[in-house]
Each structure stands twice: as structure tokens, then as C-alpha cells.
Amino acid sequence: MQRWPVVLFLAWVCFLFFAGIGLFMSGFLLTRIELASSSSCSDPLVPPPWERQSLPPGSCWAPQRFSKAVLVIIDALHFEFARFDPAKTSPLPYENKLGVLHQLATAQPRHARLYRFRADPPTATMQRIKGLTTGSLPTFIDVGSNFASYAIQEDNLLAQLVQNGRRVVFMGDDTWEGLFPKKFFRSYFFPSFNVKDLHTVDDGILQHLYPTVDSGEWDVLIAHFLGVDHCGHKHGPDHPEMAKKLTQMNEMLRSLVDHLGNDTLLLVAGDHGMTETGDHGGDSEKEVNAALFVYSRTPLFGSGPPEEPETIPQVNLVPTVALLLGVPIPYSNIGEVMADMFAGDGDTVSAALQQLSVYHINAKQVDRFLQSYSLVAQDLPAEQLQHLQELFSSAVEEHTQLLTQVQGTMVPPELEPRLGSLISRFQHYLREARAVCTQSWARFHPPQPFSVPWYAVISWLLAASQFFYSTGHQPIFPAIHWNAAFVGFHLDHNTNLLPAVLVGANTFASHILFAVGCPLLLLWPFVCEMSNSQRKKLKKESREELQEVEEHMMEMRLRESPEEFSTALLRLGLKYLFVLGAQLLACVCAAMILRRHLMVWKVFAPKFLFESLGFVVSSICLLLGISLVMRVDCAVSSWFSQLQLR
């Protein structure tokens, strides 16, 4: 068999594996570029009605409506957990337990409202926290400047609050500690890893919640309860323990409302839902269908609630809360303001003008983000971006023209129909922009001469894995040995290429060494033959005969059958790739089967990514090793030919 066709065929097999990895990764590990820009009060995004007058103290972009806010996150609060149906005489364990929400919404329809709070997949807690604070669509790989930490580097609501002098107090799930280090004025973190523990986190929050609220030493208070989520994982939603947990949350909310002041906004939200078995992480209807409840002691809505609760995306909470608290909207937000919370106490025309102003701000912020993102990435279609730009420009231009014809809040009767139409145009632009982003960012052979047995190849690969872990590596990003980039260098590097190569070589050293040395396994049969011959106790005459045979059994046999040597290299390469592929397939299956597991984005997804990179590195190094052996074989063949001529 010719030599170079062997390499080309193995390269083709590698390409097939690479294509499979890319196909699965394109759907499972969505990526986007993370922008380092952040919003500020000085940004020129203030709409025409407010740019001509100074905003009240403590306000950015729009007049501040609330000075304090309490965000209660009840992890895995499915919408059906929050809905109350008085007609049900025999409710299930998870139904009709949060009666306080129904009582507030019924008794004070302009003060309270329940929404369907639709989450974007993946419905894992860490990704949902990112969405609830950045207003963007989090993916597993947010390409940015810091892979060594889980901390959110992108502009977010907490960063804006801290930047504008607000005191943020947190209590609950310790996931927030890693995502927002050093962002809290005061914090009470409790361990969240043990999903069988239903009470530690919740009881810890209740111990500090009411004293903290009464102290007044806070501007934004976040309480993240985990009992409902853990109960779902342990027992499922249809279990008496779920009824107890939801009843505890109901009593907590009833007491909390009594401690709130008139200047405080209360938000009760679920970060995701859960399936019938209590799982989450995917994109099924039960997993993405969470609940949001909004309440204020002062009138918040211009009219009563609709017959059926409105469905809003979770990212819409970010621009809404930001403008209500008088801070800038995070730079990368693609959410739409919840306009009904900006209606105020005036008439319909005043409410429409107020809503148009916040829509104008929101649209300008989203347009700025799309323009900035399109300059550094090409994953948003140019045609759709052009269409969005046209929608934005026409809506802003019409709004500006309309305001020139308005005297204060007095709108000529002939212009009133245009207000509702213009609000619809802003809504259409914002929803189209989110849809574009979602679409882009959101699967027995007989022994042969020179044959290397399967157990030898598997043992070789197991040794490579053992070498990876024994040298202190782990398949998670924070465990990468970043200091390897500076070994032998006392000063910083001029480019990122050399440190990237050094870190990659350190991380995948076992894959590189064992893949390049894989052709040495061709000597395995001869080593086994020598070992077996030495264990045999033969007579002296038999040993002499065996010695004569063994002179032709060792490495020189490779020269006697050059075509069999190339075939043996091909078989070895295919076996090595097959075992690597099986190992990678196991990771793919684990990631797919456990996609709703609590730790999928901390354990299984990073493991899959490391295995994929390891496969790419190993296959490339395997091709280099086989090419090197073939080059040496060519030189040896030429040398043998010259000896024979002599």
C-alpha cells in the first residue's frame, strides 16, 4: 500500500470527526462575542422630551420612579405554581399555594400584576441569572477576555447599580458570589450544591430578610430562594413537600409586603420552570414557563390587568428595572421595556407620551448595541441588520416630528391616533431585534502481521488520560494553568499567540506526546513475542533455533514487507481515532442526556469542550507522528536499496 494515501485517508477520517463535532457544537454550544463596553449617564440616549430639561436627582436617561427595589427569586417558580384558581376544589400539591399573589392582584389591580415570565434556553440557573442581569441571551461560550472565571464581565444591572452609588444587598444562592464578585454592599451566601437540602438556603435568608429590610441600609435587595427547585429535583412538583415549600414562600411574601415602604418596588420571579419530574435545563414549554409578580404600594399601572396574564421574555425585566430605578440600561441589553409600568397616574395621552419616551431610550440603546456588535462580529445577517436600522430610523424620526407638534402634554386631537401607532412601531423594532439575535445565538478478526491489539490502543489512551490528570489538569476553565504562558519569560509578551501556544501545550501535553508516539505501538507485537519467548523454558537446542527465528521477528520484519507496514499504520491510526471518537461520543451523550442536570454548564459542558479540543489536538498530532514515521521509512528504504545495490 502506498504511503501518502494512508495519510490522506486518515486526514479524511479526521475531517469526518471534525464535521461531527462542529455539527453538535453549533447547536449545543451557542457562542457570541461579549462586548466590553458599558452604559453611563452621560451617553446621548435621552429622548427629546427630557433632553431639554434636567432630570430629577438620582436619575439617568429617565426620571426615577422608585428609590428601592426588592427582587425575590424563587428558583424554578413555574407559572402554574403562582397562578391561583378559586374554582379548583381539589388542587394538586403545587396549585393554589401562593394565595397572597392572587389577593394582592385582586384587591389592588393597579398596584399588582402577574405575568408569564418566559425564559430563554438553556434553563440552567447560572445562564438564567446572566439573562436576568445583562438583558442579553447567555450562551455557554461568551467570547470575552476572561475564560479563567465564571464572573460576568459584560455590562449588567448590578454593575450599573453599583456604578451609580446604589447599595445592593444579596442573600441566598452562592452562585451569585462567583458571578458578581465584590459587587454587594452586604451579602449572605449559602451553599447551593446539595439538591437534597431543601431548607438551609431558605432558612438562612429568612433569618436575615426582615431585619435587613427594616434597617433601610440598602437600595436594592436580592433574595434567591432554592427550596422549591431542590424539592423539584428531589421529589418532583406533585409531592406533599412541594406544597409545604410553596406555603412557606406564601407566608414569606405575606410578611415581606407588610415591611415595604411606598417608595419600594417588589418583584417576585422564577428563573425557570420545571418538568413533571422536577428537572430543567432544556427548552420544553414547562421549563421555560416561569412566573413574574410585580407589586407596589403606590399605583403602578394605568389600568386593570388583562383577562389572561401577559407573556413577557425574561430579558424585558432588565431595561424596565433599570429605568424605574433611574440607572442606565446595560449596554448589551436586547430586552424591551414593560411599558405598562411607565403609564403613571395621568390620562391616556400622558401615559402614551411617557411610554414613547422610554421606548425611544430602549430603541436607541438596542440600536447602539447592534451597531457595535456588527463591527466586531459577522454572525448577525447584514440584510436583517439593515432592515432593523430602517425600522429604527423611521420610528425615531416620526417620534421627533410628533414631539415638535406637542405643547407640554397637550396633544392635538388629530395626533392622538399616531401615539398608539408609534408605540407599536417601537415594539415591532425591539421584538424584531431580539428575534434576530435569538436566531443567531440560540446534536472478531484473526491476528494479522504487525497488528496492534485493541487493548494496547485503549491502554495507550488511558495512559494519556492518566497523564493529563496526574499533572494537575482538570477539564474546567478555572483549572487551566495560565502561568504556563510566562514560563521562561520575565516580562509580558508582545502578542497573544506565544502565550496561547504555551498554555495549550501545557494543557494538552499528554494528548500531544501520546498521539505523536502512537506509531511506536507497532512494536507492541514484537515486545510481546520477546516477553513470551523469555518465559518459555526450552532446551538449549530449541533456544538456538528460536534465536535464529527471532532475528527475523524484530524491527527488521518491518522492512521485509513495506506494504504491510503502511497497512499496519493505517489500521493503527483508525483504531486510535475510533477509540478517541468513542470517548468523545460518550461525552456528547452525557451532555445530551444530562442537559437538565443542575451542574451541566459547570461539569458536563466543559468536559465535552475539553474532550473536543483534545480530539482535535490528538488527531492532528497523530497525523504528524504517522507522517514523521513514513518520512523515516522512506529514508530507511532508500538506504536499504543502496545496500542491496552494493
pLDDT in tens, 278-302: 888 888 899 999 999 999 999 888 8
Read off the pLDDT of residues 136-193 as tens digits, 9 standing for 90 and up.
987 655 444 344 447 888 999 999 999 999 999 999 999 899 899 989 999 999 988 8
Instruction: Determine contact, residues 188/202, Cβ cutoff 8 Å.
Output: no
- pLDDT of 484 above 50: yes
Read off the pLDDT of residues 584-624 as tens digits, 9 standing for 90 and up.
999 888 888 887 777 777 888 888 889 999 999 999 999 99
605-645 and 509-516 are packed helices; what angle lies between their axes, rounded to 10 degrees?
30
Instruction: Determine contact, residues 518/574, Cβ cutoff 8 Å.
Output: no
Residues 500 and 638 in one domain: yes
**Residue ending a domain, choose from 304, 327, 342:** 342
Residues 390 and 455 in one domain: no
Integer Cα distance of 317 and 201 in angstroms: 25
| Rounded to 5°, angle at Cα 434 from 391 and 342 | 80
Strand-pairing partners, residue 32, are 142
More confident residue, 439 or 577: 577
Banded model confidence at residue 447, pLDDT cuts 50, 70, 90: very low
- pLDDT of 351 above 90: no
Residues 302 and 355 in one domain: no
Residues 367 and 467 in one domain: no
CB-facing half-sphere around the CA of 312: CA atoms within 13 A: 30
At residue 443, the pLDDT reads 38
Integer Cα distance of 266 and 269 in angstroms: 10
47-62 average pLDDT score: 69
Residue 297 lies in a domain: yes
State the chain's mean pLDDT as an integer.
Answer: 84
At residue 537, the pLDDT reads 47
Residue 57 lies in a domain: no
Q: Which residue has the cell 431542590?
A: 230
451 grid coordinates: 497488528
| Rounded to 5°, angle at Cα 641 from 637 and 643 | 115
Integer Cα distance of 225 and 125 in angstroms: 12
Give the distance between the most distant pair of CA atoms in the chain.
119
Residues 255 and 384 in one domain: no
Residues 485 and 458 in one domain: yes
511-540 average pLDDT score: 68
**Nearest to 163, CA basis, from 317, 44, 38:** 38
513-537 average pLDDT score: 68
**Reduced 3-state DSSP string for 219-269:** CEEEEEECHHHHHHHHHCCCCHHHHHHHHHHHHHHHHHHHHCCCCEEEEEE
Strand arrangement of the beta sheet that strand 186-190 belongs to? 186-190, 168-173, 220-225, 68-74, 264-269, 289-296, 112-118, 311-313
Helix (H) or strand (E) holding 400: helix 382-404
Give every CB contact of residue 443 below 8 A, 6+ residues apart in sequence: 23, 24, 27, 28, 592
Output the pTM of the full model: 0.71
Read off the pLDDT of residues 359-400 as tens digits, 9 standing for 90 and up.
999 999 999 999 999 988 887 888 999 999 999 999 999 888
**Residue ending a domain, choose from 412, 441, 470:** 441
Banded model confidence at residue 560, pLDDT cuts 50, 70, 90: low
438-458 average pLDDT score: 68
Q: Which of 228-242, 405-419, 610-624 bottoms out in mean pLDDT, i.e. has the lowest?
A: 405-419
**Nearest to 230, CA basis, from 191, 188, 283:** 191
Residue 56 lies in a domain: no
Helix ranges restricted to H, 471-523:
497-507, 509-516
**Nearest to 354, CA basis, from 317, 309, 412, 399:** 399
Residue 376 lies in a domain: yes
- pLDDT of 354 above 50: yes
**Residue ending a domain, choose from 342, 372, 401:** 342
**Nearest to 533, CA basis, from 561, 553, 506, 514:** 553
Residues 429 and 492 in one domain: no
**CB-CB neighbours of 484 under 10 Å:** 17
461 grid coordinates: 489512551
Helix (H) or strand (E) holding 161: helix 157-163
325-347 average pLDDT score: 88
Integer Cα distance of 606 and 476 in angstroms: 6
Read off the pLDDT of residues 301-324 as tens digits, 9 standing for 90 and up.
888 888 899 999 999 999 999 999
**Nearest to 342, CA basis, from 351, 334, 332, 331:** 351
88-105 average pLDDT score: 92
Residues 556 and 638 in one domain: yes
Banded model confidence at residue 342, pLDDT cuts 50, 70, 90: confident
Read off the pLDDT of residues 526-546 as tens digits, 9 standing for 90 and up.
666 544 445 444 444 444 444
Integer Cα distance of 128 and 290 in angstroms: 11
119-125 average pLDDT score: 85
- Count the domains in the chain: 3
For residue 313, which phi and psi values (nearest 5 degrees)?
-70, 150
Integer Cα distance of 505 and 468 in angstroms: 12
Residue 35 lies in a domain: no
At residue 553, the pLDDT reads 46
At residue 291, the pLDDT reads 96
For residue 220, which phi and psi values (nearest 5 degrees)?
-130, 130
Integer Cα distance of 115 and 50 in angstroms: 30
Q: Which residue has the cell 414557563?
A: 289
Residue 312 lies in a domain: yes
More confident residue, 568 or 256: 256
Q: Which residue has the cell 533456544?
A: 543
Q: In this structure, what CATH number is given to the domain that contains residue 102?
A: 3.40.720.10
Residue 58 lies in a domain: no
Range of the domain at 583: 3-26+449-645
**Nearest to 82, CA basis, from 101, 59, 58:** 101
At residue 51, the pLDDT reads 54
Residues 382 and 459 in one domain: no
Instruction: Determine contact, residues 617/4, Cβ cutoff 8 Å.
Output: no
Residues 454 and 395 in one domain: no
- pLDDT of 427 above 60: yes
Residues 338 and 351 in one domain: no
At residue 226, the pLDDT reads 94
> Cα 569 to the chain's mean position, in Å?
41
Residues 391 and 404 in one domain: yes
Residue 45 lies in a domain: no
